[in-house]
Amino acid sequence: LAERIALPPRPDELHTLASAINSLLQRIEQAVEREKQFTADASHELRTPLAVLRGTLEVLVRKPRTPAEYVESIGFGIGEIDRLSLLVDQLLLLARFGTQAKDLKRQELSVLSCVHDVLHRHRANLSAKHIRVNVEDGDLPPIVSDPFLVDLILDNLLANAIKYSPAGSAITVGFSRPAAHLRCTISDEGIGIRPEDLERIFDPLFRSDALAHKQIGGTGLGLSIVAKACALLHIEVSVASELGRGTTFTLLFPAQPA
C-alpha cells in the first residue's frame, strides 16, 4: 500500500478515482434520503392510531354516553392500540436486522414442518374464512438456515395469503427441487396485486391504494421484513400476480451442502 501511495497517480487514474468517489457519495446521499423518508413515514404511521385514540377518548369525556356506546368506543380504542403495538413490533424488528447478521443461527430445518407450524398458528383465521390449504407433501431435503427468520418469512407470506383472500378460497403451498435448491411457492386465489404496485410491495410502509386493498388493514411492513430476512439468509424471493385472480410468492432457498 505504501508503495502505491508513493506513486503519483496518472491523470486518467485520478479521473477514475474521482468518479468512483462521486458515485459512492451519491449512493450514500440516496441512502440517507431513504432513511429520512422512512423515519418521516414511520412517524406518520405511528401518529395516526394515536390521533384516532385521542379523538375517541375526547368524544367520550365531552358528554356522558350509554354503556353500549362506551363499550363500542373502548373496543375501537383497543383496536387502535393493537395496531400501534404491531407497528412498534415490526419497526423494532426491521431496525434489529441491521445488526443481526452476525447472530444468525445455522440449523437443519424442515420447511414443510415450518409451514405446518405457521398454519397451525393461523388456524382460527383459516377456519373463520373457510380457506382450504393444500400443502404438497413430498420427500424434501432439510435446509440449513435460521429457524426464527424462516418462520418469520413463512408467517408473513401465509398471513398475507389468508388476509388478501376471499372466504371459501384455497391456498396452495408447493415445493420443487431445481438443482441443489429447494423452491417453495405460496399461491392464493385472492384479490391480486396491480402490475404497477408489484415492484413496490417490498418497500417499507408501501400499501397498495387499490380499493380492495385499502379495505383490508395492514402496516405495509410485513413484506419489507420478508425482503430483509431473505437477503440475510440468501433466499431469493419473487412475486407474480394477476389482479382479481391471485398471487404467488416464490422462495428459492440457497443450494445446500450435500
If we measure between CA atoms, which residue out of 225, 106, 96 comes closest to residue 159?
225
- For residue 185, state whether it binds ligand ADP (rule: CB under 6 A): no
- For residue 122, state whether it binds ligand ADP (rule: CB under 6 A): no
Which residue of 158, 182, 201, 229 would you call a contact of ligand ADP, by CB under 6 A?
201
What lies within 8 Å, CB to CB, of 155 at 6+ separation is 118, 121
Beta carbon of residue 258, minimum distance to ligand ADP (angstroms, whole number) = 34
- For residue 194, state whether it binds ligand ADP (rule: CB under 6 A): no
- For residue 208, state whether it binds ligand ADP (rule: CB under 6 A): yes
Beta carbon of residue 209, minimum distance to ligand ADP (angstroms, whole number) = 9
- Closer residue to ligand ADP, CB minimum distance, 142 or 218: 218
Cell of 89: 413490533
What lies within 8 Å, CB to CB, of 166 at 6+ separation is 129, 189, 190, 191
- Closer residue to ligand ADP, CB minimum distance, 153 or 161: 161
Cell of 173: 403451498
For residue 221, give Cα distances in angstroms to 143, 204, 228, 247: 26, 5, 11, 18
Cell of 43: 412517524
Are 51 and 82 in contact by the 8 Å Cβ rule? The answer is no
DSSP per position, 120-145: HHTHHHHHHTT-EEEE----PPPEEE
- Closer residue to ligand ADP, CB minimum distance, 145 or 247: 247
Q: Restricting to residues 100-119, name those near ligand ADP by CB under 6 A.
A: none
Q: List residues bridging with 218 in a β-sheet.
A: none
Beta carbon of residue 226, minimum distance to ligand ADP (angstroms, whole number) = 7
Are 59 and 73 in contact by the 8 Å Cβ rule? The answer is yes
Beta carbon of residue 32, minimum distance to ligand ADP (angstroms, whole number) = 23
- Closer residue to ligand ADP, CB minimum distance, 218 or 254: 218
Q: Restricting to residues 143-172, name those near ligand ADP by CB under 6 A.
A: 156, 160-161, 164
Which residue of 145, 185, 187, 247 would you call a contact of ligand ADP, by CB under 6 A?
247
Give residues in contact with ligand ADP (CB under 6 A): 156, 160-161, 164, 188, 190-193, 201, 206-208, 213, 218-224, 247
